[in-house]
Amino acid sequence: MASIRRTLSPLYHDRPYDNGGAPFSPSSISSSQKGTSKHNSSQLLSYLTATTDPKSSRRGPWRRPLYQFLAFFLIGFLLGMTPYGSIDDVNGADRSAFEIKPPSNVKREEVGVDGVSFVEIGKKEKEEEDFDFIVPRKLVIVVTPTYNRAMQAYYLNRVAQTLRLVEPPVLWIVVEGGAASFETSEILRKTGVMYRHLVCKRNMTSIKDRGVHQRNTALEHIELHKLDGIVYFADDDNVYTLELFQSLRQIRRFGTWPVAMLAPSKNKAILEGPVCNGSQVIGWHTNEKSKRLRRFHVDMSGFAFNSTILWDPKRWKRPFPHPTRQLDTVKEGFQETTFIEQVVADESDMEGVPPACSRILNWHLHLDARDVPYPQGWVIQKNLEALITVR
């Protein structure tokens, strides 16, 4: 008789009971517990093998650097917060400033951090106070009328060399008549002084009125642009000291001083200007009898005034409502006094510069070469004749 053996189906090869047995019999339960324990033991063994295997450590390469970074960060933070000296609170309202005292066994001069030495708090506060009291210097506005002649380059360069030594700010306004010449522009560009080159478009019929119209052009420019400073008329043929321009910034409204002039005969010197008691003008000094009828005996280069008088008359309570200009309708030599009468009422509004008016600060010399022709471009076209030849 043939017998048939049933084999376990592949789908149920993991069941805990034997073939033909009851699924919930005691024998099947005990066999299932044994199978479960064997499976757990195999999992634990595989986990321990994976942790000890060096190839398995590649799964988390970021953990070790993270732990090192946290450790070094903690050490650096503790070292940075550790105080190496004592901090004393400062008495008073200001408690934001403090001083770090070094240990008692180290001298103060030897303490330094990266080459920066400690500075005393009192000395630093004193320097800050001195910086707060710095007052900006006034602008000195120098007005120079000029025209083309043989000595023009010499005169302009001499004035420019003086202005270069004056402490800034200085503005040099040079006014020409008719048109701006190339020669004058070249001279001004090479001086190194801040300048403005203006042109007087007025038709000047006489040489006497040339300087009057050129100065008025500069005054219109100052009034139009509201330049704030001290205005001074400096002709190009005069000689000036550096002390004069340094004294101009001390003027509040109107300042004047004596001027030494060379007589037209070239044989004597003439002194013209104020007589002062301290900074107060008490009289005038002049040697020319023809000018004694003037109200103020002063040369054109012997006074300076505040530029705000031109464009802010209400500040100074100026009596004249019309613009302050020089007049070309008066006789020669009276332009100065008629102009000053528009700026001040009397000597009480004037200041003597320097105190007591005891120093000559500029000279008015008549040394112009009238018979020498003006060379175009400052270049002589023909060579000079050799009086002594080389053998």
Binding-site residue set = 237
Task: Assign 381 to helix, strand or coil.
Answer: coil
The encoded tokens of residue 262 equal 């060379």
Cα–Cα dist 306/252, whole Å: 7
How many beta carbons lie within 10 A of that of residue 222, not counting itself?
22
336 annotated active-site: yes
Kind plus residue range of the DSSP H or E element containing 223:
helix 210-225
Cα–Cα dist 361/95, whole Å: 55
Q: Which of 183, 272, 336, 351 is catalytic?
A: 336
DSSP 66-125: HHHHHHHHHHHHHHHHS-SSEEEPPSSS--S--EEEPPTTS-GGG-EETTEEP--HHHHH
Are 363 and 257 contacting, i.e. CB atoms less than 8 angstroms apart? no
Cα–Cα dist 201/204, whole Å: 9
Cα–Cα dist 295/277, whole Å: 19
Binding-site residue set for Mn(2+) = 237
Q: What is the maximal distance between C-alpha atoms in the chain?
A: 175
Cis amide prior to 65 (ω within 30 degrees): no
DSSP 142-192: EEEE----TTHHHHHHHHHHHHHTSPSPEEEEEEEESS--HHHHHHHHTT-
Cα–Cα dist 112/385, whole Å: 75
Name the residue with tokens 């080459």. Answer: 115
Residues 6+ apart with CB under 8 A from 147: 176, 177, 210
Q: One-letter amino acid identity for 380? A: I
Catalytic positions, please? Answer: 336
